[in-house]
Structure 1
Amino acid sequence: MNPASALPTTEPDATADSERQWAITTTTGERTTGYLPPWATENPSEDDVPPQEMTARLAGIRHVAEFPGQVLRAYSPGNTTDTPQGMEILRAGITCTPYASAPEPAIPVATVWIADAHQIADLDPTGLAEIIQSLRSVADRLDHVVIPHLNDIRTAWTTHHTSRTEARP
């Protein structure tokens, strides 16, 4: 990637495309614009920024698209009750921080939140495909190994186990 192509442009007000670009305008009238992807959930445009804060504002631009995970009922060590609570797993997002300092990527990457704050971040398409394949392998193991074992174990348990109430005279 050409580093110069990642830099925002400074252009007159009349040439900015408000539907496809963000704009930050300083208190001195300098206007800096950049690409605003259609998938971004927020527009980082801002007016009346002190000129000395422009670099920090650019570094803070972050385009985000979020994708919900699956809510399952689960036990948690932090839960104050003995009942399972809803917990979202495998939430995903695409993030681009175009003016990030190295080593943070300046191109869109994916993040998968396993649960709560546990995440696998900065995934490119290949890395995301590897996560997907791993999850498919886990699902296959649960389906083709764990379920048959559980069925066998439950059958044996039912056949051989005597409950406490049956064992009492």
Structure 2
Amino acid sequence: MITTTTGETATGHLPSWAEVDPSEQEVPPEELAVRLADINHSLKLPGQVLRAYSPANPTGRPTPVEVLHGSIDCTPYATAPELTTPVVNLLLAGEHWLTDLGPTDLTQLAGGLRALAARLEDDVVPALIEARTEWTTYHPHTAGVRQ
């Protein structure tokens, strides 16, 4: 609930998953609309930590990077009705986001990730093993350098 200094109140549903209660007291009445527009119910979603190279890392070595982390978000007082429904926003890595994902979008993304994982396991890993086998035939001193 948001209450203004003049006693006006605005109430709404606080989802059980929301990490922050946006309730406020003593809000100047002229700021009520802005405060309502700024409400965002959110739940952080963990990602997967991978080791990756980054130009920002001066050592030139791979460092842990969390990918595909994000949040469930709902902006109940958004001007566009479709934005008032909870969506998932995912940070791919760095500054690359997938935003406003609904259930169908998430299902399609999950299918794409499963397909990618299958390609990595079924096609890329065997191709890499074959490439390494061929490589070490001609460069035996590199055998077993990186597993």
TM-score of the superposition, structure 2-length normalised?
A: 0.91
Aligned length, in residue pairs? 142
1:64-143 pair list within 5 angstroms: 64-102=42-80, 105-143=83-121
Q: Distance in 2 between matches of 1:61 and 1:82?
A: 41
Shift of 1:92: 2.7
**Which SS does the other structure have where 1:119 is aligned?**
strand
Shift of 1:102: 2.4
Q: Is the 8 A contact 1:88 1:116 kept in 2?
A: no
CA RMSD of aligned residues (A): 1.6
**Identity in percent:** 51
Q: Distance in 2 between matches of 1:142 and 1:134?
A: 12
Q: Distance in 2 between matches of 1:80 and 1:142?
A: 29
The equivalent of 2:145 in structure 1 is none
Q: Distance in 2 between matches of 1:90 and 1:34?
A: 30
**Which SS does the other structure have where 2:31 is aligned?**
helix
Shift of 1:104: 6.4
Q: Is the 8 A contact 1:66 1:93 kept in 2?
A: yes
**Unaligned regions of 5+ residues in structure 2, if any?**
143-147
1:149 aligns with 2:127: yes
Query: 1:43-80: per-residue Cα shift (whole Å, max 9, x none)?
Result: 00000100011111110110001111011111012211
The equivalent of 1:38 in structure 2 is 16
**Which SS does the other structure have where 1:148 is aligned?**
helix
Match for 1:31: what amino acid?
T
**Which SS does the other structure have where 1:64 is aligned?**
strand
Q: Distance in 2 between matches of 1:43 and 1:117?
A: 28
Match for 2:23: what amino acid?
S
Deviates further, 114-123 or 102-111:
102-111
Shift of 1:157: 1.3
